[in-house]
Amino acid sequence: MVEPTPSVTRTAVGIVGGGPAGLMLSHLLAASGIDSVVVDNRTRHQIEQTVRAGILERDSVRLLVDAGVSDRVLREGNEHEGIELRFGGTGHRIDFQDLVGESVWLYPQTDVFMDLAAARERDGGDVRFGVTDVAVHDVTTDTPRITFTDSDGRPCEVRCTVLVGADGSRSMCRHEIPEEQRRHFYREYPFAWFGILCEAPPSAPELIYAHSDRGFALISQRTESVQRMYFQCDPAERVEDWSEDRIWEELQARVAGDGFRLKEGRITDKTVLPFRSFVCEPMRHGAMLLAGDAAHTVPPTGAKGLNLALADVRVLHECLERFLGGDADALDDYSPRALQRVWRAQHFSYWMTTMLHRLPDASDFDVRRQVGELTSVVTSRAGSTFLAEAYTGWPGRKD
């Protein structure tokens, strides 16, 4: 049987991964007059149904709005001018506006994706969801390729000048870098988050990060009627072992004090999220560059995952624009520049995680030391400013 001849598309940038990183890069390139093709093995509907975290730094909001993706984040997102650190039964507010003059926005990653997908469709972008058999080839040559089978079962090939791997934490592209030429930095944490979605009004106007003798809890929001909450648990915990009553009892115990109580409601989703930190260096191999979770992941405590991916894309867009405009050395800048922010975000995420979570073998000394650290942060303007600068994305810093 004769194999059908692949349909060939030629473009400047081939992008594997149609999540926020890949779509934002495609959008920015189009605004610069640079063609791209995006492929993803998930359908658009599948990505839209994946519930992900939703805190955006100010620069991420600026990128969405100023690039013409959407201003829905300003209309429907919730601006948060601070967070609360809760320990010893008392809440302590970190006022971002007072400390650094910036805010963050509560806006789910699902909505960021929907805005980007709609913008690419509106602008006639070449985005192909639901493909299979994706492979990349010749990444160290001047003509890298992506091969795949499209959603109608037809073989396809994308020939490009530069290839970008934005294909998530299980990246296929990352493994194109020979093992002897890449370094993996990895830390797995001895705890996970038990996360719930519930039908209830908000319990607080801003996020609450709670340290307690029973472990960490995070009280977040989604809408006026749907809330997201988490508590620290063992990675082997099974969701089916936790009834609604048991979940609410645990969450209430972890935030108890000064009369504060969570507003309860019907729980509609339960999940256990493992914790890890990961960085791949370098973020470039020949004509292939990595962006977002393909190159790094962080614990969610610092709200950095999506923001790091968008920060990668800002730098990558600039380097690609220079390279395709004739600067032969421009791609050399990408990995070192992107990794500077990656490691700052890793430090901040690790710091927040270890300051707030109870380690399984923690002694009384360890717990008291954590309380001392938290007290130092909330009673020192310098300490609070350090947290505010990092949480809001180091405002004013150019990567």
* Catalytic residue, candidates 211, 285, 304, 357: 304
CA-based end-to-end distance of the chain: 53
Selecting among 300, 317, 334, 357, the annotated active-site residue is 300
Q: Considering 27, 80, 285, 317, which one is annotated as catalytic?
A: 80
Whether the CB-CB separation of 99 and 395 falls below 8 Å is answered with no
What does the DSSP 8-state code read for residue 293? G
Sign of CA dihedral 150, 26, 295, 209: negative
Question: Which of the residues 107, 209, 230, 334 is marked catalytic?
Answer: 209
Which CA distances in Å does 368 have to 84, 211, 327, 384? Answer: 20, 11, 55, 20
Active site residue 334: no
Q: How far apart are CA 352 and CA 356, in angstroms?
A: 6
Single-letter amino acid, residue 291:
A
Asked if 182 contacts 277 with a C-beta cutoff of 8 angstroms, the reply is no
What span, in angstroms and rounded, lies between the C-alpha atoms of 191 and 369?
19
The yes-or-no answer on residue 190 being catalytic is: no
- CA 45, 50, 52, 54 torsion-angle sign: positive
Active site residue 300: yes
**Residue of 189, 230, 334, 391 with catalytic role:** 391
d(CA 196, CA 203): 14
Nearest 5°: CA angle at 388, between 387 and 392?
Answer: 120
270 is catalytic: no
- Residue 391: active-site member: yes
**CB burial class (10 A; 0-12, 13-18, 19+) of residue 56?**
buried
Q: Which residues are catalytic?
A: 80, 209, 300, 304, 391
